[in-house]
Amino acid sequence: MKAELLSITNYPEELIVKAGRTCYLSEKKDTPESIKLFIKSRIKEGHESILEHASASFRITGVSRALTHQLVRHRLASFSQQSQRYVKESTFDFVTPDSIKDHESKNIYWQYRNFMDQTQKFYNYLVDSGVKPEDARFVLPNAVCSEIVVTANFREWKRIGHLRLDSHAQWEFRDLMKQIMYILLIYAPNVFAEFKEEVNEEAI
């Protein structure tokens, strides 16, 4: 799994403060300390629309379709995902959950790999028999890896962070969000400050 930063707003926190100060016509020469205080205060009072002026795009690879299906539920973000209609899955990679990889019965892991192997063979057989990839994909499991580019503004990244770094979120999505948040914290430590404890260098 990898989250690669493709693009992020230049000087995002300066921009957010500049936009926010417009509301009060209180523009001034900011310092790192005044930026921190301004952003902290606006977030505390719920004046979060100012965070929408900054955004970030990530290319996400090596994750399952199970994860991307959850990701695209976040409606305020924008997505471009590898198509299973136009890209043949002739040699698909797949994600294996630890609960299967480390299962006390080694047989479970072996059967899982065997299932993926058989599925790959059957998929290729369908395509080689003239079935279109858009129909052959019906046999593909949720575990198949996908690639997706996602763009969201900082308010939405905070919302996704809240939901997907929570202990109730799925482990794969949590791992992905740790990587994304680690990067966002470098560029906007005050906006994403609340996630600092959740994320550390092990994340990437």
Ligand X SMILES: Cc1cc2nc3c(=O)[nH]c(=O)nc-3n(C[C@H](O)[C@H](O)[C@H](O)COP(=O)(O)OP(=O)(O)OC[C@H]3O[C@@H](n4cnc5c(N)ncnc54)[C@H](O)[C@@H]3O)c2cc1C
For the CB of residue 169, give the shortest distance to ligand X in the complex, in Å: 5
- Interface residues with ligand X (CB under 6 A) are 73-76, 156, 159, 163, 168-169
For the CB of residue 161, give the shortest distance to ligand X in the complex, in Å: 11
Residues 165 and 132 sit within 8 Å (Cβ to Cβ): no
Residues 176 and 60 sit within 8 Å (Cβ to Cβ): yes
Q: Collapse the DSSP code of 60 into the 3-class scheme (helix H, G, I; strand E, B; otherwise coil) and give the result.
A: strand
* 127 versus 169: smaller Cβ distance to ligand X: 169
Is 42 designated active site?
A: no
Exactly one of 42, 65, 137, 164 is catalytic; name it: 164
For the CB of residue 33, give the shortest distance to ligand X in the complex, in Å: 31
* 89 versus 156: smaller Cβ distance to ligand X: 156
Q: Using CA atoms, how far apart are residues 154 and 39, in angstroms rounded to an integer?
A: 12
Residues 158 and 51 sit within 8 Å (Cβ to Cβ): yes
Q: Using CA atoms, how far apart are residues 66 and 159, in angstroms rounded to an integer?
A: 20
Around Cβ 186, how many Cβ atoms within 10 Å?
Answer: 11
What stretches of the chain adopt beta strand conformation (E)? 2-8, 55-64, 78-81, 145-153
* 13 versus 156: smaller Cβ distance to ligand X: 156
Q: Using CA atoms, how far apart are residues 25 and 28, in angstroms rounded to an integer?
A: 9
* 38 versus 65: smaller Cβ distance to ligand X: 65
Q: Which residues pair with 63 in a beta bridge?
A: 146
For the CB of residue 57, give the shortest distance to ligand X in the complex, in Å: 16
Catalytic residue IDs: 164
